[in-house]
Amino acid sequence: MELRMSLLEVRNLKKIYDDKAAVDDLSFRIDAGQIFGLLGPNGAGKSTAMMIIAGLRRADSGDVAISGDGAGTSTLEHKRLLGLVPQELAIYPDLTAAENLEFFGRVYGLHGSRLRQRTDHLLERIGLVEHAGQYVRTFSGGMKRRLNFGAGLMHEPKLVILDEPTVGVDPQSRSHLLEEIRHLAEKGVGVIYATHYMEEVEQICDHVAIIDHGRLLKSGTPEELLEEAESRVHIRVKAPMDRAKAALRELATAEQMDDQHVEVIVQREGSEPATTLIERVSEVLSRLSKIGAELVSIETREHNLEQLFLELTGRKLRE
């Protein structure tokens, strides 16, 4: 088993606004080379947590430790270890792509040949070499997102905070950005990846935290989270509703579909082994056979990350 070095530790973080907890006793750890997916609905506290980690806001209590140092992100030295790619574009439209990267490089103290080297390297990594001298105001949305991403990497940070880095981009730019994020992790960079795109989390994240109302609801690898989630088998039969219910009792639930058909739902909770569901389905089919039910269809519905997210955070619309 590969051992990773702890890069970031967030301990019991709390932030109050107008007597309401935006971040409420939040704790998690990120290792070097780990892509850490941070999920939550609007207003869940993700942005506040990321701003505190980046040293742009102060927590009311708790602390942030970078590379095991309890000094957190308040010092300039520790801020140099961080790269922040915000959801809102933080690039200058009246500068060229190269000028934007050079500007952010100088902010972090790069100059001379080192600045030129990093600028050229990043232009290649984000696929903008041919557009290096082009003004950003003429760029497409995907090109701007790629430049925004590159600007946060000029100083070679050890930890990168990405807030919705692929929002509104074309499929090619999205694929390119995801590949570059994997490349960062392969080099040992830790990544905080906040997004609403569940398929992206499943593609690239090796650890996921779901938060809401500032609190951590679930945390683990995508595989661990889905193993804990329920699975269901939907069995549709032609049978009287009253007889189906009487035969199944507490083994499964039955719902009336129409005058003749009943849908039987057999469910496995996350804490139960997968074999339990198979055994339960077998028993349900046996009981339905005994009452003369005619089998119409069987459908297995496995959980995915989006379903788990909605179950934990609710389906109510958020502003």
Per-residue confidence of the chain (319 residues) as pLDDT tens digits? 455 678 899 999 999 998 889 999 999 999 999 999 999 988 889 999 999 999 889 999 999 988 755 445 556 777 788 999 999 999 999 999 999 999 999 999 999 999 999 999 999 999 999 999 999 999 999 999 999 999 999 999 999 999 999 988 899 999 999 999 999 999 999 999 999 888 899 899 999 999 999 999 999 998 888 776 667 788 999 999 988 888 988 788 888 888 889 989 888 766 677 678 788 889 999 999 999 999 999 987 766 777 777 777 876 655 5
- Whether the CB-CB separation of 99 and 134 falls below 8 Å is answered with no
- For 93-104, give the DSSP string: TTSBHHHHHHHH
CA torsion 141-53-183-227 (nearest 10°) is -100
Specify the domain boundaries for CATH 3.40.50.300 within the chain. Answer: 6-226
The strand pairing partners of 69, in sequence order, are 66
Q: For the chain, where do the domains classified as CATH 3.30.70.600 start and end?
A: 230-302
Provide the 10 A C-beta neighbour count for residue 1. Answer: 3
Against a cut of 0.85, is the pTM above it?
no
71: left (phi over 0), alpha (psi -120 to 50) or beta: alpha
| Dist. CA 120–CA 117, nearest whole Å | 5
70 burial type by CB count under 10 A (0-12 exposed, 13-18 middle, 19+ buried): exposed
Where does 6-226 sit in CATH, by number? Answer: 3.40.50.300
Say which CATH architecture domain 230-302 belongs to.
Answer: 2-Layer Sandwich (3.30)
Give the contacts of 118 (CB within 8 A, at least 6 positions apart): 101, 105, 110, 154, 155, 156
The C-alpha R_g of the chain, in whole angstroms, comes to 25
- Whole-angstrom Cα distance, residue 149 to residue 164? 11
CA 253 – CA 257 distance, rounded (Å): 13
